[in-house]
Structure 1
Amino acid sequence: MLKADGSVSRAIYQPIEATPDEALKPGKWSGSTYTRPVRHQQWTGKIADLPSEERSLNNNYFAAWGEFKSPDELPQAFVKKAPEGLPDGKLVVDYKREELGLVVAYRWQETLTDIVTIDDMHQAREELADLLIPLGQKILDRALGEEYDTTKLFDWFQQTGQPWAFEMIDVLVARGGLREPTLEQIDLALAQICGRYGLVLTDSTGKLLSDAQCCEARVKYAEKVLRECLRRRDGGEVPATDIEKILQWMDMKDRLENSKEQLQEYEAYKAAAKAVVAENFGDDEKLSEVLQPLAARILGLYLSEPLDSHDFQYTLEVPGTIVKTNGTLLSEGIVRWTFAGSEAYPFGYTMECESLVAQTDFERQLLGRSVLDTREAIIDYVELIRSDEELRGAMAACVAEKCTAPLYEGPKDRGLFSESQTMFAAMRRLLKLPE
């Protein structure tokens, strides 16, 4: 809750692993406790009403509440740990209280940050391709043996697969920059790119195929690429069983009905991968240490770890009447945001709210009555005063001097078609002053 004097009451409830150590320290909050996970729909009462419990395996959530003199004093209560060398994701508050004469405006913005920038994302995806394509070729060469030549196949990855993947990443970035794109819109945009490369994932009407149909189409496309690009050095035809093994190794086909011999062949692919990784990086963990920062720089902190996602439900109460927000209004002065951490991709998710409070006492002192008595009147007043600096100064003088004379004395430019002159006249009309 944001109060009129700029002080803040805040309560949090979240996983312990998403809470910085600093926020867990005694004395940071008026009260705190550990508790079990509770679904949003199951909440009853207030966070501060939770019983006091100790941290345990089951009590793996942290709840806290407190009063703070200003938003600057709020503890940093959330962190999304980034791979080493990259900034963590966090919540950043931008608060402004704006005196506008007869109205006070309160603007609250709180951003869940991500780490993606366009230039760095482009650099990271180049680095990732430069790492994975040669690594994949070494693994496949080791698994297939000397009788196969994979040169043309990995030329395809560099000349076709790489730009294809880059285009799809660009779509994710562009769509993520829009407010609330639907998954279907994103999937359709990705399918259109795939179609340009020959992988058709839509029907004749442009509608997306079912998940099963898309999976089948991808497998057939991969089989086609392997048949056309994988070569036996003796000039013979590549057996379908070898293509099948490669697709299983790539997790494009399941292995549920494999014979014991087929499973052994699959294990040979895994062994080849393990050996190549060991030769080039030491082990899988060391490879992961290289891949994770690249993935985060491309897909952000939240999309790159889909199994470690966070869902947010954030409610804010502000003074006065909310006139602008990208959340869901619960009442004149309360707004709620519900979103997934992945929605912060690529440049952060900002919760925005602006509320206005008419200074009724000032109105009565100045005008003898209240005229800013509707939402529309308050909004019109604020739009006028923000549109002209001279008018803003004149209204401040009116309030300070407790008279309306400054609205008649200004502006400096008194020309017939002066924009400021028009604004001053509009303000006098809005305040129902005589001409």
Structure 2
Amino acid sequence: MAVRTACLLSAALTALSGCSPVGGFRAETTFRPDGSVARTVQQDDEFDGDRSDWQAAGDAAVSPAEEWPRPIAAPEAEDGTGATIARGEFPAAAALPDHLRIGDEPDDEPDAETGVSRFVRNAEVIEYGVLTEYRWRETLTAGTSPLKMERARRRGVALAAWWAGAVLEEGMPAGTDASGLVEWIETTGDDWSADLLAAGFGLAARPEPVAATDAPMSLEPFREVCSDYGLNLPEAAEPSDGAPAAIDAEKRDAAVAAFLDELLRTRITVDGRPLDAEQTERARELLFGPKPKPGTYVGETPWAKIERVRARVLAERFGTEDPKEAGKAIGEELGGLVGPTFFRLFAASEVAYRHRMPGLLLSTNGAILDPGVPADGGTAEALFRFDVSAAFPFGHAMTARSVVLHDDRQRELLGAVRIGDRAAAVRFLERMEEEQARSAWLAAVEADDAETLREMLP
């Protein structure tokens, strides 16, 4: 429940070290001179898109990592299981359907603010008469932002303090005073959660992604923060003999349990006295939920009584005793706390993206596979390869810019080929960055005013 914002978030983060990696994602895109787009995608595990949105889609085998920079086979040529390949032709970049949604839930409303990480695109075809410029920017969003995260963190602390006070008042014996725990959440818990968030930003700023086998080692900043607040979590064992780094779950759980019991005993009193062992167990179950003992089930007493207490407290605030509905309401209050790409800091989820542009490639933040040629019919290609966690917390953009030179149109308007290579094209486009110069040039092209165009070129 919400109180974990303060004292169990650290344990939840540590538990992430045991999460298995989500499926990898590959894509190939051709941005054509007319602005239309051809795209082929391959996604391991469950396909996030709708197969009916694509002209062809089929099952395929999961590709080994060394094959990822290579072209993707056609859907009808593949055979296997574990992955999906889909291909489609679209009139514009804006018509591309969603096909990677990280953090989406099956029952989410399509337009809900669910904190989903997805690809968003901006493509431009800019005609200058004597040349055409092409711009492509595709961003894997973070599903949140630092501002949303900080605001959600503060709401989480307030929600945790409310939950602790309300559920203990409702479910503990008369004479129980939980004000000490509430104060701890609002002060120490507030500081602790802020430090954990800062540690997350620090991890996101690392120069290189953490390898999947070393993922638990990446939790060291969080472990150090927890240690500063008295929760001494075990260190991750070094990877050896091909085995990934690992955290001893039993030791971790024991450390968290001991910390929580001490916190509850010292911050809650009954008739002015610290909690005894039985009262501590009841407080823990009220706050975090009952754990039935072997041979029992949650519908039996005393756990049924505890669940009823928790349901009444939730109903007072959220208007429903349905845990699922209350969970949705809590999710809305805490929306954006970390975002789906944060959790990929601990589980490798690689993207390999090949992108083709018309003409000659002028710039890209990817690896250049083919620089292309500036003539009509030329094609340039770049490769973007990164981990999904690179999108935390600002999103990760893939950019490419290219140009096609129109020699015949230059001879017609300028009397000669005045822009004949990359350097000349870059100088021209730099000039066109000035709004006044661009407007004047486009007006002259529209009017076939060759004299003005020739005067504007250096």
**What are the residue-to-residue correspondences of 1:39-54 with 2, within 5 Å?**
39-43=64-68, 46-48=72-74, 50-51=76-77
Question: 1:383 is aligned with what amino acid?
Answer: E
Distance 1:230 1:73, change over 3 A: closer
Residue in structure 2 matching 1:315, options 343, 348, 354: 354
Q: Give 1:160's match in structure 2, choosing from 177, 188, 191.
A: 188
Q: Deviations over 1:18-57 (max 9, x none)?
A: 434xx322xx43322123433443456533165366xxxx
Question: Paired residue for 1:62, among 58, 67, 84?
Answer: 84
- Partners of 2:346 and 2:306 lie apart in 1 by 24
- Amino acid in the other structure paired with 1:352: T
TM-score (norm 2): 0.62
Which blocks of at least 5 consecutive residues in structure 2 are unaligned? 1-29, 234-245, 289-293, 295-299, 315-320, 372-379
Q: CA deviation at 1:383?
A: 0.9
Q: Which residue matches 1:24?
A: 51
Count of aligned residue pairs for this structure pair: 383
Amino acid corresponding to residue 289 of structure 1 in structure 2: K
**Aligned residue among 116, 124, 141 for 1:96:** 124
* Residue identity in the other structure for 1:76: D
Name the one with the larger helix percent.
1
CA gap 1:243/1:63 in 2 versus in 1, 3 angstroms? same
Task: Indicate conservation of the 8 Å contact 1:16/1:60, yes or no.
Answer: yes
Alignment of 1:258-269 (within 5 A): none
What letter is aligned with 2:351? F
Distance in 1 between residues matched to 2:95 and 2:270, nearest whole Å: 68
Report what 1:325 is aligned to: 364
- CA displacement at 1:171 relative to structure 2: 6.5
1:397 aligned partner: 444
Judge conservation of contact 2:178–2:267 (CA < 8 Å) in 1. yes
Matching residue of 1:368: 416
* CA RMSD, Structure 1 to Structure 2 (Å): 5.2
Per the alignment, residue 73 of structure 1 pairs with: 95
Counterpart CA distance in 1 for 2:172 and 2:230 is 27
Q: 1:147 to 1:17 in 2, by over 3 A?
A: same
Larger radius of gyration: 1
User: Residues 167 and 91 of structure 1: is their aligned pair in 2 closer, same or farther, counting only changes over 3 Å?
Assistant: same
Contact 1:29 1:64 in 2 (8 A): yes
Mapped to 1, the partners of 2:280 and 2:313 lie a distance apart of 26
Q: Does 1:297 align with 2:344?
A: no
Q: Please state whether the residue corresponding to 1:47 is helix, strand or coil.
A: coil
Whole-Å separation in 2 of the counterparts to 1:388 and 1:285: 54
Structure 1 length as normaliser, TM-score? Answer: 0.64
Shift of the 407–305 alpha-carbon distance from structure 1 to 2, 3 Å rule, reads closer
1:34-433, aligned counterparts within 5 Å? 34-43=59-68, 46-48=72-74, 50-51=76-77, 59=81, 61-80=83-102, 81-82=104-105, 83-84=108-109, 86-87=112-113, 89=116, 90-116=118-144, 121=149, 124-136=152-164, 149-166=177-194, 168-169=196-197, 172=200, 229-231=267-269, 233=271, 235=273, 274=307, 276-281=309-314, 282=321, 285-303=324-342, 311-332=350-371, 333-346=380-393, 348-365=395-412, 366=414, 368-369=416-417, 372-373=420-421, 375-387=422-434, 389-390=436-437, 393-394=440-441, 397=444, 401=448, 403=450, 406-408=453-455, 427-428=457-458
Partners of 2:361 and 2:313 in 1: CA distance: 58
Give the % identical residues: 22
